[in-house]
């Protein structure tokens, strides 16, 4: 039978025909497309015609386009709707793709053409975007071993193949450990305080597993409500410790050796290419530019946040002792105690907000907000296949012209990794519009009610939608410079700035509405949300800084000397934490952002981008949160431009100046 992945997709907008793809199709299609792309590469390198931008750089840019679509489908499904078969295929394919990338960047004839163009081409002949693409392609060859000798190139190939497999193994282990554990409770008395919506879902989970009572899992919509509201301290401890054991147990899913192997190989790779560390290699192509700058940035924020965090912690200790009788505050108490204090201080009950935040209404309101900002309209597609019944697909229009497809996938399931992310199935380029997807793990609907979101889930939705806007509104000539293809510490600006609208009364009126009565969230509750926005910002900032510091420590010049994962993590994290260490727990073994995703030596970028987003949103506050001119400027200079220029140039074109860190400190209440 003909492989559907090798044919043009006969679907509206050439959407992925998920309903017709079989797992077995992937390997054969990818092997064939790699072979085809290799031939294209050889033809580019062996041209007799002298190199020019069109016959070398543009042809190289177009090479392997369909291969990228097929592999994108495979790896996206491996994250959102995986199976043992898909995991095995991904493991087999990853080193093949790594080898293919090496075949490109280690091809001497091809590099010679690119190098000749980079050194001799009159740049005045090129557009700004073409200059950026040429520079990016040249650097890509250098940073992937083009200047190495044959022995070194062969070692680089081996390292890249191993790293591709190890990162996949890491993610598979995390998912397997998460799915293995569940907390079963048969006595409802032990569940005092747990919200009714969480109880309903836990009951449903138990029924699906054919068990009595209530079952809580390590999925965030199950885990977080329990840790925040359950009065049973012993059960909170049990669930917390189980969560912290992910990838750190004496079983086949242990990630300790994987981490050490990944760290060693990344360090070796960096040194092979002439860098002192993996962090130095990564940060060369970031706004931050160097490890020294990142450390300075993290330390300056820590110095601002630590005194505030310490005061917040002491307040929690005092409350826990006087109100709850806890002699010592433990990590499984923190969310519970923090929620008690928040409710007492602001009279804000997060659970009481949920009826006003049904997912359909929030999504409708979000669509309205981006219509007011950017003129986007969303139409639920009726005839475009998706990969799971929970997934919806929208046709997105701007000024009555088709702009993009948007897939939405909101609820947890066994084959889906935790967290939330945006991804794409088709990139934007000249005369091609993108297909993007947002994937989350929100509280699911019940028989009696739609999915009711926590306010934190609302901000997560707005965050991921910001990434989606970056993809959907892209308007560049070349796919590799489009959408989210920007410096990693700039990519979070469009996502994090969107979170600001969650706290503005004018926007809240659009996305809140009681699921039974339709009543908009009362104004007094809006005021409470705004008042509570700075709650425990010291502790929250310190937590993010600890993750950024831990990440950097795994990728600096000394990282290769680490021999014990837990001991190293404990040493780094102790200066950021007020609770004692839990020996059976380890965060690094489930730190998928840096060992499976693309945030290695880049986790600091969340805080870095907060500086940008706080400064950028100040202009919206000054002009009006729906001011057309400001929104147009953000669209034209940030959202549509992708990576066509250096991010600081794009930011200054929007804001008229460099970002001011004081905006973040003020918003967070740290000054």
Q: Kindly provide the residue ranges of all beta strands, DSSP E only, lying in 462-531, ordered along the sequence.
A: none
Is the same domain home to 191 and 139?
A: no
Answer yes or no: do 119 and 45 share one domain: yes
Pick the last residue of a domain from 191, 210, 244.
244
407: which strand partners?
393, 437
Count helices and strands in the chain by DSSP H and E runs = 27, 7
Asked if pLDDT for residue 123 goes beyond 90, the answer is no
- Neighbouring residues of 42: CB distance < 8 A, sequence distance ≥ 6: 107
469: in domain: yes
Alpha carbon of 232 to those of 24, 61, 177, 195, 327: distances in Å?
A: 47, 58, 24, 13, 16
Tell me: pLDDT of 1 over 80: no
Q: 318 to each of 31, 266, 307, 313, how far by Cα in Å?
A: 62, 45, 17, 9
Residue where one domain finishes, among candidates 84, 119, 143 = 143
Helix/strand/coil (H/E/C) assignment for every residue in 42-109? HHHHCCCCCCCHHHHHHHHHHCCHHHHHHHHHHHHHHHHCCCHHHHHHHHHHHHHHHHHHHHHHCCHH
Sorting pLDDT into bands at 50, 70 and 90, what band is 122? confident
Domain hosting 462: range is 355-473+487-523
Identify whether residues 93 and 204 lie together within a single domain: no
Is the domain of 70 the same as that of 205?
no
SS (H, E, C) 414-460: CCCCCCCEEEEEECCECCECCEEEEECCCCCCCCCCCCECCHHHHHH
Chain mean position to CA 232: 33
- Helical axes 455-472 vs 359-374, angle rounded to 10°: 40
CB 469 within 8 A of CB 639: yes
Neighbour order of strands in the sheet with 435-439: 376-380, 392-398, 401-409, 435-439, 421-426
Find the radius of gyration of the CA atoms of the chain: 25
Q: What is the 3-state secondary structure (H, E, C) of 127-185?
A: CHHHHHHHHHHHHHHHHCCCCCCHHHHHHHHHHHHHHHHHHHHHHHHHHHHHHHCCEEE
Read off φ and ψ for residue 488, nearest 5 degrees.
-65, -30
d(CA 90, CA 79): 11
Give the whole-angstrom CA distance, residue 70 versus residue 93: 11
Question: Do 373 and 510 sit in the same domain of this protein?
Answer: yes
- Torsion angle in degrees (nearest 10) through CA of 40, 46, 47, 49: 150
Residue 668 domain-assigned (yes or no): no
Of 122 and 368, more confident = 368
Domains identified in the chain, total number: 3
- Say whether pLDDT at 498 is over 80: yes
- Residue 554 has a pLDDT of 98
Residues 392 and 513 occupy one common structural domain: yes
Distances (CA, A) of 102 to 97, 99, 356, 385: 9, 5, 52, 34
Residues 76 and 18: beta-carbon distance below 8 Å:
no
Rounded CA separation 286/608 (Å)? 11
- Same domain, residue pair 58 and 12: yes
* Chain segment 155-191, per-residue pLDDT in tens: 999 999 999 999 999 999 999 999 999 999 999 999 9
Are 407 and 391 within 8 A, CB to CB? Answer: yes
Same domain, 129 and 62: yes
125 and 201 belong to one structural domain: no
Query: Is residue 155 one of the residues assigned to a domain?
Result: no
pLDDT of 124 above 90: no
Is residue 95 a contact partner of residue 164, using CB atoms and an 8 Å limit? yes
Half-sphere exposure of 573 (CA within 13 A, CB side): 22
Q: What percent of the chain clears pLDDT 70, i.e. is strictly above it?
A: 100
464 is catalytic: yes
CB 436 within 8 A of CB 642: no
Can you say whether residue 301 is alpha, beta or left, with left for phi > 0 and alpha for psi between -120 and 50 degrees? alpha
Q: pLDDT (tens digit, 9 = 90+) per residue, 573-629? A: 999 999 999 999 999 999 999 999 889 999 999 999 999 999 999 999 999 999 999
Tokens of 301: 């924020």
Q: Quote the pLDDT of residue 186.
A: 97
Query: Within a domain: residue 406?
Result: yes
- 200 and 115 co-located in one domain: no
Report, as an integer, the average pLDDT of 429-456: 95
DSSP H/E element including 382 = none
The answer as to whether 59 is a domain residue is: yes
Nearest partner of 12 among 386, 467, 427, judged by Cα: 386
Given 464, 492, 525, 569, which residue is catalytic?
A: 464
Average pLDDT over residues 385-402: 97
Q: Would you state the pLDDT for residue 325?
A: 97
What pLDDT band is residue 671 in, cutting at 50, 70 and 90?
confident
Whether 386 is in a domain gets the answer yes
Rounded to the nearest integer, the mean pLDDT of the chain is 96
Token code pair at residue 332: 């499984």
In a domain, 61, yes or no: yes
Residue at 543 is within a domain: no
pLDDT exceeds 90 at position 338: yes
424: domain CATH number?
A: 1.10.1370.40
**pLDDT tens column, 77-107:** 999 999 999 999 999 999 999 999 999 999 9
Query: pTM for the whole thing?
Result: 0.92
Residues 360 and 501 in one domain: yes
Same domain, 25 and 136: yes
Final residue of a structural domain among 199, 222, 244: 244
Residue 582: left if φ>0, alpha if ψ -120 to 50, beta else—which one? beta
In CATH, what number is assigned to the domain containing residue 125?
1.20.1050.40
Phi, psi of 184 (to 5 degrees): -100, 130
Q: Alpha helix locations (H) across 325-386?
A: 334-346, 350-353, 359-374
């Amino acid at each position: 039978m003909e492989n559907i992945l090798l044919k043009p997709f006969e679907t509206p907008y050439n959407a992925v025909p998920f309903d017709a793809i079989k797992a077995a199709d992937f390997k054969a299609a990818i092997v064939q497309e790699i072979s085809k792309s290799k031939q294209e590469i050889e033809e580019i390198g062996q041209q007799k015609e002298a190199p020019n931008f069109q016959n070398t750089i543009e042809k190289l840019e177009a090479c392997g386009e369909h291969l990228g679509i097929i592999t994108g489908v495979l790896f996206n499904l491996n994250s959102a709707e995986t199976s043992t078969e898909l995991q095995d295929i991904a493991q087999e394919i990853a080193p093949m793709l790594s080898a293919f990338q090496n075949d490109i960047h280690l091809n001497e004839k091809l590099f010679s053409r690119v190098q000749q163009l980079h050194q001799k081409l009159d740049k005045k002949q090129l557009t700004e975007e073409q200059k950026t693409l040429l520079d990016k392609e040249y650097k890509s060859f250098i940073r992937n071993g083009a200047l190495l000798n044959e022995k070194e190139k062969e070692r680089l190939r081996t390292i890249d193949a191993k790293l591709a497999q190890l990162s996949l193994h890491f993610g598979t282990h995390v998912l397997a450990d998460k799915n293995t554990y569940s907390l079963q409770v048969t006595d409802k008395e032990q569940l005092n305080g747990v919200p009714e919506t969480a109880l309903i879902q836990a009951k449903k989970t138990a029924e699906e597993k054919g068990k009595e009572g209530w079952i809580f899992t390590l999925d965030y919509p199950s885990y977080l409500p329990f840790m925040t509201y359950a009065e049973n301290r012993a059960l909170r401890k049990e669930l917390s410790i189980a969560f912290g054991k992910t990838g750190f147990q004496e079983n086949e899913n242990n990630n300790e050796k994987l981490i050490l192997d990944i760290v060693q190989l990344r360090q070796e790779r960096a040194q092979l290419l002439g860098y002192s560390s993996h962090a130095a290699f990564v940060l060369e192509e970031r706004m931050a530019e160097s490890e020294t700058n990142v450390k300075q940035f993290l330390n300056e924020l820590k110095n601002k946040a630590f005194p505030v965090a310490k005061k917040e912690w002491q307040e929690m200790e005092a409350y826990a002792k006087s109100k709850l009788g806890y002699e010592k505050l433990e990590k499984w108490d923190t969310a519970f105690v923090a929620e008690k204090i928040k409710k007492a201080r602001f009279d804000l009950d997060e659970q009481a907000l949920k009826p006003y935040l049904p997912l359909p209404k929030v999504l409708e309101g979000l669509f309205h907000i981006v219509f007011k900002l950017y003129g986007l309209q969303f139409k639920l597609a009726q005839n475009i296949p998706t990969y799971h019944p929970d997934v919806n697909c929208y046709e997105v229009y701007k000024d009555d012209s088709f702009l993009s497809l948007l897939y939405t996938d909101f609820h947890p399931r066994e084959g889906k990794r935790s967290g939330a992310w945006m991804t794409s199935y088709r990139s934007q380029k000249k005369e091609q519009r993108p297909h993007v997807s947002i994937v989350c793990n929100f509280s699911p609907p019940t028989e009696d009610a739609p999915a009711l979101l926590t306010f934190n889930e609302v901000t997560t939705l707005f965050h991921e939608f910001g990434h989606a806007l970056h993809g959907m509104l892209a308007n560049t000539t070349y796919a590799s410079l489009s959408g989210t293809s920007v410096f990693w510490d700039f990519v979070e600006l469009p996502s994090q700035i969107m979170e600001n609208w969650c706290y503005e009364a004018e926007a809240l009126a659009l996305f809140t509405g009681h699921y039974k009565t339709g009543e908009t969230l009362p104004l007094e509750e809006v005021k409470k949300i705004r008042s509570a926005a700075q709650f425990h910002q010291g502790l929250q900032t310190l937590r993010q800084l600890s993750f950024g510091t831990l990440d950097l420590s795994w990728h600096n010049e000394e990282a290769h000397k680490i021999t014990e994962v837990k001991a190293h993590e404990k040493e780094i994290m102790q200066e950021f934490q007020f609770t004692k260490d839990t020996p059976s727990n380890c965060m690094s073994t489930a730190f998928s952002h840096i060992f499976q995703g693309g945030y290695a030596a880049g986790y600091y970028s969340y805080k870095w981008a907060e500086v940008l987003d706080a400064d950028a949103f100040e202009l919206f506050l000054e002009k009006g949160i729906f001011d057309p001119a400001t929104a147009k400027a953000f669209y034209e200079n940030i959202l549509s431009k992708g990576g066509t220029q250096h991010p600081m140039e794009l930011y200054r074109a929007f804001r008229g100046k460099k970002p001011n860190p004081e905006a973040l400190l003020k918003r967070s209440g740290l000054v």
